[in-house]
Amino acid sequence: MKDRLEANVKAALPSWDRIAGNWKQFAGKARERWGELTDSDVDVIAGRRELLVGKIQERYGIITDQAERQVAAWMNEVAETKRRH
């Protein structure tokens, strides 16, 4: 039962592949979420999760774990928005 619940939760989240493949669409949402990111940062990130985490770390002076948690929370927000529409 627990495995099925975890699988359902994972299925509801947008995969990073989807975000990377549609980065131009998601870039604006990322800029809304992390206003300290510049247009240049967003261009350099180009849909690569590890670069997004790194730029968040750099711009906000936080550790990797915090940046990773913020990206995961953002992915949840994106998924929730998609479910509502």
pLDDT digits (tens, 9 = 90+) for 39-48: 999 999 999 9
pLDDT > 90 in the chain, percent: 67
Q: Is the pLDDT of residue 79 over 70?
A: yes
* Residue the block writes with tokens 């247009």: 39
Q: Classify burial at 2, counting beta carbons within 10 Å of its beta carbon; exposed 0-12, middle 13-18, buried 19 or more.
A: exposed
> What's the pLDDT score for residue 8?
45
- 6 lies in some domain: no
Q: Is the pLDDT of residue 36 over 90?
A: yes
- 60 lies in some domain: yes
- 4 lies in some domain: no
* Closest-CA residue to 47 (of 68, 73, 26, 62): 26
Q: How many domains does the chain have?
A: 1
pTM for this one? 0.79
CATH number at residue 20: 1.10.1470.10
- 78 lies in some domain: yes
- 54 lies in some domain: yes
Domain that holds residue 38: 15-84
- 10 lies in some domain: no
